[in-house]
Amino acid sequence: GQQVMQIPQYQHVQEGEDFTTYCNSSTTLSNIQWYKQRPGGHPVFLIQLVKSGEVKKQKRLTFQFGEAKKNSSLHITATQTTDVGTYFCAGSPSGKSTFGDGTTLTVKP
Amino acid sequence: SQTIHQWPATLVQPVGSPLSLECTVEGTSNPNLYWYRQAAGRGLQLLFYSVGIGQISSEVPQNLSASRPQDRQFILSSKKLLLSDSGFYLCAWSVGGGVTDTQYFGPGTRLTVL
């Protein structure tokens, strides 16, 4: 079946450093979504990418969808303590999505 | 606007006891509904999903079951809980299928089985 892999599993950064998490699929995806889960909270939808090579930005967050639509990345510029949490990607070849295991980000002030 | 409710928020149950978790969605019709379980510090494991009333697909064989008695109500049940059933249970909804499959999660239920 389809698998969605995320790396790294954990990332510890100093406040102000950049952070990137990567998502890779074994199959071509029709779209990919990114979610953020704060400690103790539930996943919250951030963004969806649909087109090959698509790049979207939300303030300090940059999301990319690979040309082959099999991988994606989330990059945070100049992390802040409010960025802590687990970031999940979810890929959908068709219909329901498959979630990666997430990357947990901790930020030292 | 759409909202999703889950209750209870937290639950402590003894091994062997029954379970019933409820999820309801407001503000949308015929949503796809999902139950996930998240172990501490882990990812999301899809347990069940439903595309309509009475239509349930099971992703993982286990002692849990799900039912959808109404369009916007999704229930997760167990007749006898196991220790391994402890976790954070999340309900989610989405509309349609195909390209648009963004899921919106409820606040979750933290279940501890002792």
A33 touches chain B (CB under 8 A): yes
Residue A10, domain member (yes or no): yes
Q: Where are the beta strands (DSSP E) in chain A?
A: 4-7, 10-14, 19-25, 31-37, 44-49, 55-58, 61-65, 71-76, 85-92, 98-99, 103-108
CATH of the domain at B72: 2.60.40.10
Residue A29 lies in a domain: yes
Would residue A26 count as lying in a domain?
A: yes
Q: What is the mean pLDDT of residues A4-28?
A: 95
Domains in chain A: how many in total? 1
Mean pLDDT of the residues in chain B: 91
**Contact state of B43 with A42 under an 8 Å Cβ cutoff:** no
What is the percentage of chain A residues whose pLDDT exceeds 70?
Answer: 94
Report d(CA A61, CA B94) in Å as an integer.
24
Per-residue pLDDT tens digits for A32-55 = 999 999 999 999 999 999 999 999
Scanning the structure block, which residue is given the tokens 């698998």? Answer: A3
CA separation for the pair A64, A32 (Å, rounded): 10
User: Residues A93-104: what's their mean pLDDT?
Assistant: 82
Q: How confident is the model at residue A2 (pLDDT cuts 50, 70, 90)?
A: low
- Residues facing A62 on adjacent strands: A57, A75
How many domains are there within chain B? 1
Q: Domain for residue A59, yes or no?
A: no
Question: DSSP readout, A69-100?
Answer: SSEEEEEESS--GGG-EEEEEEEESSSS-EE-
CA distance B83 to B89: 14
Q: Please tell me if residue A88 touches chain B, with a CB cutoff of 8 Å.
A: yes
Whether residue A55 lies inside any domain: the answer is no
Calpha distance B35→B23 (Å, rounded): 9
Question: In which domain, by residue range, is A12 found?
Answer: 4-50+65-97
Q: Do B97 and A90 touch (CB under 8 A)?
A: no
B34 reaches A (C-beta below 8 A): yes
pLDDT tens digits, A67-89: 999 999 999 999 999 999 999 99
Report pLDDT for A45: 94
Can you give the CATH number for the domain in which A81 is found? 2.60.40.10
The Cα B74–Cα B67 span in angstroms is 6
Q: Which amino acid is at B85?
A: D
Structural domain boundaries, residue B91: 3-113
A105 inside domain? no
